[in-house]
Structure 1
Amino acid sequence: MSASEPQGQQDIEKREEKEQTVVYNEHIDVSAVDEAKLVRKIDWRLLPWLSLLYLLSFLDRTSIGNAKLYNLTTDLRLTDKEYLLCLTIFYFSYAFFEVPSNVFLKRLRPSIWLSTLMLLWGVAMASQGLVKNYGQLLGVRWLLGVFEAGLFPGVNYYLSCWYKRSEFGLRAALFFSAASVSGAFGGLLAAAISKMDGIGGKPGWTWIFILEGLATVVAGSMSFWIIHDFPDTAKFLTDAERTVVIRRLQSDDQHSAAGENLKMKNILQSLSDWKTYLTMLMYAGSAAPLYAFALFLPTIINKLGFRATPANLLTVPVYIVACIVTCGVGFYADRKGRRGLLNIGFLCIGAAGYIILISSRSPALSYFAVYLAACGIYPVISNTIAWVSNNVEGSYKRSVSLAMTIGFGNLNGAVSSNVYRARDSPWYTLGHGIVLVYIGLGVLTSVVYWLVLRAENSRRDRGLRDEIIDGVNDNGDPETVEKLTRLNGRFASVEDAKKEKGDRWSGYRYVL
């Protein structure tokens, strides 16, 4: 390849010259727009409200773990198996509807789609406080999964349409940190609401569902006016600001930022991409432990010798620490990269926590271990999502890939929600062991993903993935031109190659 390297360098320079001629909204003057202020403006308009919505979402799906401590299973006469099935069914509907929801989000306005979903899941959440038996609770949990399915993958995809790849990780971490805040807030809230036991003739656990569900309904109603649409149509931006946002994204190899029409091939590109299936396994390695942790942390602490209210309160500092670490990892990864190494390192910390939980018979040591577990799981969730988003180009392809990745991870929540059996208390050795296996899967797939992406970047650096561009590099050795055309395609312009190939374009570099 050494003889062809000078020609390859000339090709790159010619491509860069040609790319500079394609400017989004070339007629609009953007000289007065301060980019740093624009990014801060976007942050304040998007992140606080979206984080609040996810806080409510995570609170609503996991509050059943808090309610269990206040006689939910006793009042409904649920067996341990029935309770676990009520947890499990949520994840089946949740995972199944994530991909279609993300496609609808792209086709429709986020302000309408996300708000409608939230309104409906608020009603489903409140309905859990009205159920009288196992069958009713099972049905409502299914509906809760259907309506909640669109928020987490939808918002992560939505945020990726606003920020550069080097900015998205911190925003994903800030958004996801609402999950750890909800864990802390959920324990405090459940302890407070339980004091309503007997009001209206209802036990305390019903009020946990009813009041939290009503709060979600109110937030969903307000979201119709608070959630903004995609950058090219967002009303809180001026024409010049919208233009700057799109140009920033295009300069960051997000070539579909100016808009993309839905075609079946956009979805098939995701389905046929090996990265999609590897990242599905990788995300499952942290998502399954996350749901097991969130659903059973109060119970685990309770069985270590603490009563219901102290057990809920002792979850609070665990989640606060997890929130701080999650945001710190997001901040660091955006500036230094190394998302793969961060995944591997923090999953190992989580593994250490679960090894201690398996071997310990001391409540104090086990309580320390849950801090390690939280710090090893929570940062990896948002870091993995950012890593996946960073390495998929094409707006529809990214929406489907993120939904498939997150959906499969959530489907494994159906497994992890069944691993903490009542007969295994108080140490739950089997449950901790299964979670540890998932963490090992996360480590293995993170290593493989990192190695394969690095090798692919190297191939592109050596010119092995170069396309033939008419008028740019089509006059070289005929045999080489024919070979590259056959392997990598031939296009009228670099812009056509970008649009057609997305992250398979030779100039695209994967984030490690």
Structure 2
Amino acid sequence: MDQPITKTMSDSGSVHEKPVFVDPTLANDADEGLSEEEKTKIDGQLLWKLDLVLIPWLSLLYLCSFLDRTNIGNAKLDGLQEDLHMSDGQYNAALTIFFVSYSVFEPITNILLRRTRPSIFIPTIMVLWVSRALFQCIAIGSRLTIPPPEQGICMMAMGFVRNFSGLMATRWFLGLAEAGLFPGVGYYLSCWYKRSELGVRMAIFFSAAALAGSFGGLLAAAITNMDGMGGRPGWAWIFILEGLGTVVIGVVSFWMVFDFPAEAKFLSETDRRRVLRRLALDQQSSAEHEEWKMSHFWASVRDWKTLVGAIIYMGTDGSLYAFSLFIPTIIKELGRLMIFAFFFVCYTATKAQLLSVPPYACAAVLTVLVGYIADRTQQRGLCNIFISLFGVVGFSMLLGAKTAGVRYAGVFLGAMGIYPCIANTVSWTSNNVEGAYKRGITLGIVIGWGNLNGIVASNIYRGTDAPHFYPGHATVLAYLTVFLLGGSILQYILLRIENRKRLLGQRDHWIEGLDAQEINLLGDRRPDFLYTL
């Protein structure tokens, strides 16, 4: 069957005719015969319904996840390292081991998500944070040996550890259990929303990480007042109570997480057809069934966008973990030097916990704002480039400024330059990869490689470098400048070049001799698929 023709304008002003490859789903219009005004109203109502059902609960899951992985920084501030008689090297090793298991297993989690169902996979990994960890909790306390656990109560287990070995064990299994959540949800949301709608949803979802940092400081400041209760120190209660919250939320998730659009039970048949059609109009097929083949993996690995996306994400993720894990310690050291009217003479760990709240709150607001702007402008690369400059300036201030007030301002700019770029980079990567399995694998590789840099982040802030932490600040500054800023500029330029070639018809030979279905299976290699800049 002949394909329809569309006319596009090249940069030189000449008109070029290009074939448009129509997804068969487009023929299944549930609103056929309605006016455009009526269709727009129905579409808005559908989008609002999706937002209310999907976004709040998934954001809550990530808040729990990020809180559980980073509250060790708050616990350190309240005496964890001293009570377990750990050296600085051992404490950093406890941070590092989380990222080893977390990163290694991330690339395969989206394949598991696709081959099972979100309503099973996501709640299951939450419950695995709960399952045998209770026995691990008892085992660590009594130094027994049992089969390994996962997270939720594994988080609680960290509140019962008696030595460095117990902490290492719980951190390893914490990383293993959490590996599937962030890449899984990033991929899952990309199967529900159009490319121009994903950014702000990912931003709202990821802002939970910034809120976790902010909320975590407040929560830790309150929980540490339980010091001595039940014979446990205050830092132990941070792990126990926050882990208990994850247990409850993980169980409820079986009723709160839904499948992909083609199977989601909260959708009527009419709404299901609407969701699939609006995705097809956006040149997306990832929401539909696709048979697993090893060629999907190799297509992702050989795609230059996977490599460059991983470089960009390592720049922002390595910086993120350095910031989130050590910010309570950094602020505590700054506090020793600050002379503000609202501080008491004796600067305490509680004040450091509270002072970590405002930077995270600013980062959360900016993350959502950048997601909204990037969706409206479809200029995710320029957003990354501009926002990364905040981080570069912020860590330059931390590195070079001598006064505590200026360096605290640097903490604000550092948070504002890191957090928005995480969600924006994931959205940018997702927008430019099509195909159910290819997109999932690409996100797994990009996010997994980024998180692997948490190993570096865990070892660059040493107690011997206090109070200035020059090696740590310098490393984060290099990550932000070379990988985040430099990688974003590189990808933006390469995508512009490729889009120009497609508009000029220089990629049309890729589909010679192929029928409509074969062309559809090309995904982002379809000549009419234009990349999001």
TM-score in terms of structure 2 length: 0.88
Q: Return the alpha-carbon distance in structure 2 between the equivalents of residues 74 and 27 of structure 1.
A: 65
- Residue 78 of structure 1 aligns to a residue whose secondary structure is coil
Q: Return the alpha-carbon distance in structure 2 between the equivalents of residues 336 and 6 of structure 1.
A: 22
Equivalent of 2:352 in 277, 288, 311: 311
Partner of 1:170: 200
Partner of 1:496: 518
Partner of 2:295: 265
String of CA shifts for 1:113-149, please: whole Å, max 9, x gaps.
1111112210211111111110111011000000001
Counterpart residue type for residue 298 of structure 2 = L
Q: How does 1:356-435 map to 2 (within 5 A)?
A: 356-435=397-476
String of CA shifts for 1:203-230, please: whole Å, max 9, x gaps.
1111100111110011000000111111
- Residue 158 of structure 2 aligns to a residue whose secondary structure is helix
Partner of 2:315: 285
Equivalent of 1:458 in 488, 497, 500: 500
Q: Is 1:269–1:397's contact at 8 Å kept on the other side of the alignment?
A: yes
Q: Return the alpha-carbon distance in structure 1 between the equivalents of residues 367 and 13 of structure 2.
A: 44
Q: Is 1:24–1:243's contact at 8 Å kept on the other side of the alignment?
A: no
Q: Is 2:16–2:504's contact at 8 Å kept on the other side of the alignment?
A: no
String of CA shifts for 1:322-372, please: whole Å, max 9, x gaps.
111110000000001211111111111110011110111211111111011
Q: Is 2:288–2:436's contact at 8 Å kept on the other side of the alignment?
A: no
Q: Please say if 1:446 is aligned against 2:488.
A: yes
Deviation at 1:27, TM superposition (A): 8.0
Deviation at 1:25, TM superposition (A): 7.2
Equivalent of 1:103 in 111, 124, 131: 111
**In 2 relative to 1, CA 11–362 (structure 1 residues): closer, same or farther, beyond 3 Å?**
closer
Equivalent of 1:146 in 142, 158, 176: 176
**What CA RMSD, in Å, does the superposition of the two structures yield over aligned residues?**
1.8
String of CA shifts for 1:156-184, please: whole Å, max 9, x gaps.
10000000000000000000000010111
Report how many aligned residue pairs link the two structures. 483
Q: Return the alpha-carbon distance in structure 2 between the equivalents of residues 411 and 6 of structure 1.
A: 46
Deviation at 1:24, TM superposition (A): 5.3
Partner of 1:508: 529
Q: Please say if 1:321 is aligned against 2:362.
A: yes
Q: Is 2:191–2:286's contact at 8 Å kept on the other side of the alignment?
A: no
Q: Is 1:250–1:256's contact at 8 Å kept on the other side of the alignment?
A: no
Q: Is 1:250–1:257's contact at 8 Å kept on the other side of the alignment?
A: no
Q: Please say if 1:351 is aligned against 2:392.
A: yes
Q: Return the alpha-carbon distance in structure 2 between the equivalents of residues 175 and 284 of structure 1.
A: 20
Q: Please say if 1:26 is aligned against 2:22.
A: no
Q: Return the alpha-carbon distance in structure 1 between the equivalents of residues 384 and 17 of structure 2.
A: 37
Q: Which runs of 5+ in 1 are unaligned?
A: 467-483
Counterpart residue type for residue 493 of structure 1 = D
Q: Return the alpha-carbon distance in structure 2 between the equivalents of residues 493 and 7 of structure 1.
A: 28
Q: Please say if 1:67 is aligned against 2:109.
A: no
Q: How does 1:482-493 map to 2 (within 5 A)?
A: 484=509, 488-493=510-515
**In 2 relative to 1, CA 65–230 (structure 1 residues): closer, same or farther, beyond 3 Å?**
same
String of CA shifts for 1:58-113, please: whole Å, max 9, x gaps.
00000000000111011100000000000001001000111111110011111211
Counterpart residue type for residue 313 of structure 1 = L
Counterpart residue type for residue 492 of structure 2 = W
Q: Return the alpha-carbon distance in structure 1 between the equivalents of residues 280 and 310 of structure 2.
A: 27
Partner of 2:49: 41
- Residue 392 of structure 1 aligns to a residue whose secondary structure is coil
Q: Return the alpha-carbon distance in structure 1 between the equivalents of residues 277 and 153 of structure 2.
A: 41
Partner of 1:231: 261
Q: Return the alpha-carbon distance in structure 1 between the equivalents of residues 25 and 514 of structure 2.
A: 17
Partner of 1:478: none
Q: Return the alpha-carbon distance in structure 2 between the equivalents of residues 6 and 448 of structure 1.
A: 26
Partner of 1:469: none
Q: How does 1:161-200 map to 2 (within 5 A)?
A: 161-200=191-230
- Residue 326 of structure 1 aligns to a residue whose secondary structure is helix
Q: Which runs of 5+ in 2 are unaligned?
A: 1-8, 130-150, 337-346
Partner of 2:98: 90
Q: Return the alpha-carbon distance in structure 2 between the equivalents of residues 492 and 418 of structure 1.
A: 52
Q: How does 1:205-220 map to 2 (within 5 A)?
A: 205-220=235-250
What's the % identity of the aligned pairs?
A: 48
Deviation at 1:191, TM superposition (A): 0.7
- Residue 356 of structure 2 aligns to a residue whose secondary structure is helix
**In 2 relative to 1, CA 371–6 (structure 1 residues): closer, same or farther, beyond 3 Å?**
closer
Deviation at 1:29, TM superposition (A): 5.7
Q: Return the alpha-carbon distance in structure 2 between the equivalents of residues 272 and 286 of structure 1.
A: 23
Q: Is 2:391–2:418's contact at 8 Å kept on the other side of the alignment?
A: yes
- Residue 254 of structure 1 aligns to a residue whose secondary structure is coil
- Residue 259 of structure 1 aligns to a residue whose secondary structure is coil
TM-score in terms of structure 1 length: 0.92
Q: Is 1:491–1:497's contact at 8 Å kept on the other side of the alignment?
A: no
Q: Is 1:25–1:243's contact at 8 Å kept on the other side of the alignment?
A: no
String of CA shifts for 1:302-337, please: whole Å, max 9, x gaps.
011142000010111111111111100000000012
Counterpart residue type for residue 51 of structure 1 = S
Partner of 2:342: none
Q: Return the alpha-carbon distance in structure 2 between the equivalents of residues 277 and 325 of structure 1.
A: 27
- Residue 262 of structure 1 aligns to a residue whose secondary structure is coil
String of CA shifts for 1:470-512, please: whole Å, max 9, x gaps.
xxxxxxxxxxxxxx3xxx243442342121x110110000000
